[in-house]
Amino acid sequence: MMVFRKTFGIYQTNCYIVREGEQELIIDPGEGSCEWVIKSVKNARAILLTHGHFDHIYDVAALKKELKVPIFIHKNDAFFLRSDQDYMGYECCEADFMVEEGEYVYGGFKFKYHYFPGHTPGCSMIEIDDMIFSGDFLFKDSIGRWDFEYSNGFDMLKSVEKCKQLKGRYTIYPGHGESTTLERERENFDAYIRYIKSTLK
């Protein structure tokens, strides 16, 4: 499998293309990513979203029209696609697959949605092979914010505790910034848990 990354928009959001053979999955196509994605893919099969924040979904509607591929998003974040919550100016559309935690097989790919709410109600990490696309839940040396509208600190705490239990060796491809590994990030989880707890009092 090959992974291509390019950053888009004011928050430098990572858009990823995962290629296996002649087929691709597109992950989090942010503002202005449409053109790059279209010229980079040979046979796109689906758009997978880690969560519904505007900087990760901005070009989803345009790409869906152009590539005629279905959209996957956790069911609790589908409302972001349906209506532009913060008037950010993106085009709305409907999700085709409103997923829950679990394994999915589609278009020659197998991927798993891991549910880690807190940053948003449907925030997820997507496992493909030995890679995890962590969206805004987990970054290199930090985690996502839990102080936005629709965020929840208690959920975030539970999610980090749950992530601590995640076994295996994975390369982490976050929604912003550099790639990392789960092994490296595991070292930080106890500190995150302490910090989140301190903000919840």
Contact stretch for Zn ion (CB under 5 A) within 50-58, 63-71, 74-82, 188-196: 50-58
Q: Which is nearer to Zn ion, 31 or 109 (CB)?
A: 31
Do residues 99 and 122 lie in contact, with contact meaning Cβ atoms separated by under 8 Å?
no
Q: Does 136 bind Zn ion (CB under 5 A)?
A: yes
Contact stretch for Zn ion (CB under 5 A) within 38-46, 47-55, 57-65, 179-187: 47-55
Contact stretch for Zn ion (CB under 5 A) within 52-60, 70-78, 98-106, 107-115: 52-60
For the chain, the C-alpha Rg in angstroms (whole number) is 16
Give, as ranges, the residues between 76 and 135 that touch Zn ion (CB under 5 A): none
Q: Does 53 bind Zn ion (CB under 5 A)?
A: yes
Residue indicated by tokens 């030995």: 130
Pull the structure tokens for residue 85: 């919550």
Helices (H), 68-188: 78-82, 153-164, 182-186
Do residues 49 and 196 lie in contact, with contact meaning Cβ atoms separated by under 8 Å?
no
Give, as ranges, the residues between 166 and 195 that touch Zn ion (CB under 5 A): 175
